[in-house]
Amino acid sequence: MQMNLTILPILTALAAGAVSQAQEDGGVLNVRDFGAKGDAKTDDTAAFQKALDAAGKAGGGAVKAPRGNYLFAGHLNVPNGVALEGCWKSVPAHNGIRDPGLPEPTGGGTTFLITAGAGQESGPAFLTLNTNSTLKGAVIYYPQQRVEDEPTPYPWAIAMRGKNPAVLDVEMLNPYNGIDASQNERHLIRNVQGQPLRRGVWVDSIYDIGRIENVHFNPWWSVKPKLFQWQMENGEAFIFGRSDWQYVLNTFCFGYKIGYKFMQSPTGVCNGNFLGIGADDCYTAVVVEQSAPYGLLITNGEFVSFHGPDPTMVEVARAHAGSVRFVNCAFWGPCNQIARVAGKGTVGFSDCTFVQWDRNREGRHALQAESGTLLVRGCEFREDKPQISLGDSVRRAVLSENLFTGTARIANRSKGNVQISGNASE
């Protein structure tokens, strides 16, 4: 479709007037003044980018996207110091857009309908944030995804770059890949909900503290068998590569192959503070392939596994050489085992509660340490089943002041230094 050239001067004048008025209004621009329609039919990519670029050239400010369903066949780049804001003041409910054929969300709001990048993961993100830029108060929705099928790959919905980028009060209803929070400093992801299908949040190459707060991933968009089974077999909610003191607070995920994954990336590994995190109905709630020696500090966590080929709450890989601590965490659900620990690093459980392991009554221990160092102190084992197994290659272990339901059943094959004391049975 070609634009009538006779109206170009009019549109240019309107945009210039909008910028002038915005300067008087404290730097707030409206995408409607730059030609955005919000009718779920017109590609609004160019109009949004014009508004964002105008705010950037003016030295920063806010670009408002009022109520509407904005279609994007391209990509957006939010300049330094610019905030792209929808009309939502907190994360909206998910029940507005379930049917891809329904363009209008119940209750109104700002919704971004994304079609760019279908069929591939390697393309640019739909929206890139830069230094001091923000996305706030919008719903991100991929209308061409089908609720009853395996998902179509897409690139990341959001990429966070530069210094202090932020994603606030956003619902990611059904992205294939959610937020790429890598290659930045001091990112802030707060009050985000939705159902990312393949990956939720990816953190890597962070050399100054990143923060993730109040992020909740649940299968609100689709629990149709084919799609949801694919998600359970492939999905990873939170993935952490290199991050120097990552702070994660009050996060939750349901229905993934892996809830929280800690891995070695080309730039390094993660250490950080993880408080009030949860993973429900994940094949494996926490996978630690590698961590920094300074430690992963996981406190007040809630972890549940009961589906998959070998449901396990915690899996620590053979390459692991760092330190992981679980403090005051609860583990339940009819799993095979609570934790399998390998590697030469240290894994500790303190003041934790363990319920419902060895679901098939095969004699599996709740905690199975193959090697490395294991600390289990002040924990409660609430099943009359085998509690702890120490393999031949366990170098050190301290098992003290735990509560056992039934008799103590500790299988100790370790040839290292093992201290077992002060445990109470009934």
- pLDDT tens figures, 247-295: 999 999 999 999 999 999 999 999 999 999 999 999 999 999 999 999 9
Average pLDDT of the residues in 90-102: 63
**DSSP strands (E only) in 126-277:** 127-129, 134-136, 139-141, 156-160, 162-163, 166-172, 177-182, 184-185, 188-194, 199-204, 211-217, 236-240, 243-254, 258-262, 270-275
**DSSP strands (E only) in 255-299:** 258-262, 270-275, 278-280, 284-288, 296-299
Q: Per-domain residue ranges for the chain?
A: 27-234, 238-426
Q: Which residue has the higher pLDDT, 168 or 5?
A: 168
- Going 104 to 107 to 109 to 115, the CA torsion angle's sign is negative
Residues 6+ apart with CB under 8 A from 101: none
**DSSP strands (E only) in 161-219:** 162-163, 166-172, 177-182, 184-185, 188-194, 199-204, 211-217
Q: Is 116 helix (H, G, I), strand (E, B) or coil?
A: coil
d(CA 355, CA 9): 70
Of the pLDDT bands very low, low, confident and very high (cuts 50, 70, 90), residue 326 is very high
Average pLDDT of the residues in 344-348: 98
pLDDT score at 96? 53
**Structure token pair of residue 298:** 């996981």
Of the pLDDT bands very low, low, confident and very high (cuts 50, 70, 90), residue 95 is low
pTM reported for the whole predicted model: 0.93
Give the rounded percent of residues in the chain with a pLDDT score beyond 90: 89
Give the rounded percent of residues in the chain with a pLDDT score beyond 70: 91
d(CA 136, CA 346): 40
Is 27-234 CATH 2.160.20?
Answer: yes
Does residue 178 surpass a pLDDT of 80? yes
Helix or strand (DSSP H, E) at 17: helix 8-24
Per DSSP, the residues of 48-62 read: HHHHHHHHHHTT-EE
**Structure token pair of residue 228:** 């949801």
